[in-house]
Structure 1
């Protein structure tokens, strides 16, 4: 039995669902195939710890989803999505001084960082004003398929060449250097460096300044919101919107192969023997390695691309823990209690040691942790008076992560929490641990427990993402598009890769042979 639709989308993560919605908006028949029993990929919610505690299976905070991103432009409030915010956005906990706290009120953020060094508050406000002047253009560049000629041109015209050159420098600076250039004290420096470490880019690595500034400024402007009721609510809104436009999602449908004929993607075969014909396009919200090395027949791809696919570098592996707590975390510093997101475990020197340990393949002795106080953000996440705590840290990639090794990491994480929140252990009602292998088993896109679809290092960005080539969603197979975080502009729940893939599919359909010939010519240059 064969089903025939305009487009088959593999994967129902946010990128796959954004792509499907945009194609459905254009009047296409769209079918999304999801191997798991429920939609969402890394954007799902379940009772992982204890009854009444709603835990986000992977991602939890969504600064991009409320700003000017593809996912934000879908009008998901009309489909039931509601956002919640903690009283404060982010706190970076310090061992021997008050926490640095980022609030949606810029003056409160300025007051916090000014406590570390007089004048840093005004410097923070100046940095934020810089962001406000260029934010719309920067995000337009980020979410435009590569190369973003028009968007980049508009940015240069708005800022002038001199300012644009210095903005480019800011984006490629290490975040440690950016912090040292802009601020005197550690407070603002820690906020920037901690935000950069949401990726696998350390304080001394190129482009960390861009990531740290971008995420910190998004937090300043939009906060780090969470969907009311859990991350699954974001997925549910995307699915509801898609179905309202005639699209469908089939769960339990594991894509096993992409059928290629005469250089063109013809459809998708699933593990249960089903065949879905794609009249116009196949879009793959899967890791790049899975697409090029598993799903597509090797004789349909250039040898150079196959060789490059074996060299794709993943971002760091992850250990994630959810705790059900009997009450709020007993922070030593009361200011931390109001923050939705907490950066925990290291001063500036410690962040450098943490990144160096990961680079050397060692488990950091003192893990840097990103924590989410989800009941503080959204009281519906747990029974009244309790807290649902979401936490992860990065670890090196290894051939295997046995339970004993994962538990050693968790013990270090709990020791850090006890250090900064004495009595934490006494509040624990239950916990759920997911090591690197567990995360990949839950979602195959999290290869080796990596959250970002590939390293955020400059060696794998723009036209180098995921391999040297176009930097676009198009692949060497006609009408096949990479729609996952492995593609430009990379990780983050913003829908950028999915939107780019949908735009490419629509352009190929609109311009036909002319578009196909241009992509073939570009592929010959990239892959020989």
Structure 2
């Protein structure tokens, strides 16, 4: 039996963030990763053609650039540098109209004013308000609940009346929010396209907060790529951890946790090895995997087990990667300047797309998130070896389909046909292609159950104190010294390290000599109220 202060299950970026913070505190840490590679969704590899390095899943990182957690880790000292495209993103409609978010608000204002003259000034006003509250709001988002100090700072900057108005706005659907703020389609599309990075509908309550938040973060921090590819982020976290004595074991799938007297004692891997954890176990895995498979429902409160029956994953996705011999030959030169391109209809068309998915139907026109990393990071590939990617959400019934299914290939044809319209000659530049349907995604990364990227729906009923189920909205679990450190925990998906950092902070508080028992008593009391 190996003995350490903490076992971290899963070497996704959240698990590695948690491990780094514990190692900073002087803890002995081992990270157990089920697959052959650390990094989870933050990895690169030659999957489309030899010599063409693609980002296997995530590729552009607005939340990473905005995250105070990643900033505090000083990953630039370990090789991480952000690269920006000339413009942040573009949205092209079915009529080939284009709205552009520039690197500065004035450029965005100029673009949206082409759709409605007054919208340029309205965009500047919206971003000016954001600049006043960006720092405390980001601190509040990434902090454990309740975020008392940053919330107080936010209230101090806005005042009670303006805070209430902001909260009201953010409870609106993104369609309603766009109609309140802007007169034309351009700015509304920038909000709506950003909202649809999640699995919420443009008509859904609270979808406005996603569109507003990602649009404002993008306006301030851009949608940068990691120089050299997504793998650079993982490599920086690994190098930093190993420098502090942390150990990462790959091909070490945890089969179950050992629980005794309401406390986690350690982990057993599928090859029979056991790991004693003296202080904590932190799990960067889906909530259902942790509670049902690793802990076992017999160790959990009955009401929590019942709540898990209502847990919902986000919709599955289809991910395409292309190896290209040249840059994408867009008809509209503005699309060539953005690392991220939203391809979809107008706001009405995006609502119809979401409605089709909600009805478990194939939409006539899919909303496509398209990425061209070389626009932001032209030196990541040798001449003649560019890459591009796209993903789109699928109906829930597609969650068990693989890339060789005719229904998946029909989706691929739709996407490539639309690209051929927007970029004549695209097909002739393709020298290789990788298709990852839900089955392929879940096989390569067990945390992507059913091809879902977000470890749980982004609907309001599964956020904050409801994430992953009704509870505290914190990393703490009903099992003493066991913490949920993955995207199923608040503040949810995105490469920002929030869940991992919150889990590490909770573990450190619980182990404090003076405050540890008081902290646990408070958590237990709160759990008794809920369960």
Q: Is residue 2:33 matched to residue 1:34?
A: yes
Distance in 1 between the 2:95 and 2:490 partners? 40
How far is 1:9 from its partner? Answer: 0.3
> 1:223-372, aligned counterparts within 5 Å?
223-372=222-371
Alignment correspondent of 1:522:
526
Q: SS at 2:525's partner residue?
A: helix
Alignment correspondent of 2:499:
497
Q: SS at 1:37's partner residue?
A: coil
How far is 1:33 from its partner? Answer: 0.6
How far is 1:223 from its partner? Answer: 0.6
Give CA-to-partner distance per residue, 1:299-344, whole Å, 9 cap, x none.
2111111121122111110000001122221212111001000000
Distance in 2 between the 1:406 and 1:95 partners? 22
Q: Which runs of 5+ in 1 are unaligned?
A: none
How far is 1:385 from its partner? Answer: 4.3
Aligned mate of 1:447, from 430, 446, 449: 449
Alignment correspondent of 1:461:
463
Q: SS at 1:48's partner residue?
A: strand
Distance in 1 between the 2:61 and 2:433 partners? 24
Alignment correspondent of 1:478:
480
Q: SS at 1:437's partner residue?
A: helix
How far is 1:417 from its partner? Answer: 1.1
Q: SS at 1:256's partner residue?
A: strand
Alignment correspondent of 1:21:
20
CA contact (8 A) 2:324 2:384 kept: no
Distance in 1 between the 2:169 and 2:73 partners? 31
Distance in 1 between the 2:382 and 2:353 partners? 35
Give CA-to-partner distance per residue, 1:256-287, whole Å, 9 cap, x none.
11110111010111000000110000000000
> 1:145-224, aligned counterparts within 5 Å?
145-224=144-223
Give CA-to-partner distance per residue, 1:139-187, whole Å, 9 cap, x none.
1110111111222122112210011111112222111111111111111
Distance in 1 between the 2:490 and 2:122 partners? 32
How far is 1:363 from its partner? Answer: 2.0
Q: SS at 1:71's partner residue?
A: helix
How far is 1:512 from its partner? Answer: 2.3
Distance in 2 between the 1:332 and 1:98 partners? 12
Aligned mate of 1:512, from 511, 516, 527: 516
Alignment correspondent of 2:140:
141
Distance in 1 between the 2:159 and 2:502 partners? 28
Distance in 1 between the 2:503 and 2:115 partners? 45
CA contact (8 A) 1:256 1:269 kept: yes
Q: Is residue 2:128 matched to residue 1:124?
A: no
Alignment correspondent of 1:434:
436
How far is 1:520 from its partner? Answer: 1.1
Distance in 2 between the 1:385 and 1:163 partners? 52
Distance in 2 between the 1:226 and 1:361 partners? 33
Distance in 1 between the 2:360 and 2:68 partners? 35
How far is 1:368 from its partner? Answer: 0.3
With the length of structure 2 as denominator, give the TM-score of the two structures: 0.97
How far is 1:392 from its partner? Answer: 0.2
Q: SS at 2:396's partner residue?
A: coil
How far is 1:13 from its partner? Answer: 0.7
Distance in 2 between the 1:299 and 1:97 partners? 56
Question: Which segment is superposed worse, 467-476 or 292-301?
Answer: 292-301
How far is 1:429 from its partner? Answer: 1.2
Question: Which segment is superposed worse, 312-321 or 395-404?
Answer: 395-404
How far is 1:228 from its partner? Answer: 1.1
CA contact (8 A) 2:101 2:219 kept: yes
Alignment correspondent of 2:4:
5
Distance in 2 between the 1:374 and 1:154 partners? 37
Distance in 2 between the 1:317 and 1:98 partners? 28
CA contact (8 A) 2:228 2:380 kept: yes
Give CA-to-partner distance per residue, 1:368-394, whole Å, 9 cap, x none.
010110111112343314531111000
Distance in 1 between the 2:530 and 2:60 partners? 36
CA contact (8 A) 1:98 1:333 kept: no
CA contact (8 A) 2:51 2:385 kept: no
Distance in 1 between the 2:446 and 2:144 partners? 25
Q: SS at 1:332's partner residue?
A: coil
Alignment correspondent of 1:108:
107
CA contact (8 A) 1:483 1:498 kept: yes
Distance in 2 between the 1:437 and 1:381 partners? 29
CA contact (8 A) 1:474 1:504 kept: yes
Q: SS at 1:485's partner residue?
A: coil
> 1:53-64, aligned counterparts within 5 Å?
53-64=52-63
CA contact (8 A) 1:88 1:339 kept: yes
With the length of structure 1 as denominator, give the TM-score of the two structures: 0.98
Alignment correspondent of 2:416:
414
Aligned residues: 526
CA contact (8 A) 1:95 1:420 kept: no
How far is 1:97 from its partner? Answer: 5.1
Distance in 2 between the 1:303 and 1:343 partners? 44
Alignment correspondent of 2:389:
390
Distance in 2 between the 1:124 and 1:385 partners? 39
Distance in 2 between the 1:83 and 1:37 partners? 27
How far is 1:407 from its partner? Answer: 1.0
How far is 1:349 from its partner? Answer: 1.3
Distance in 1 between the 2:37 and 2:169 partners? 41
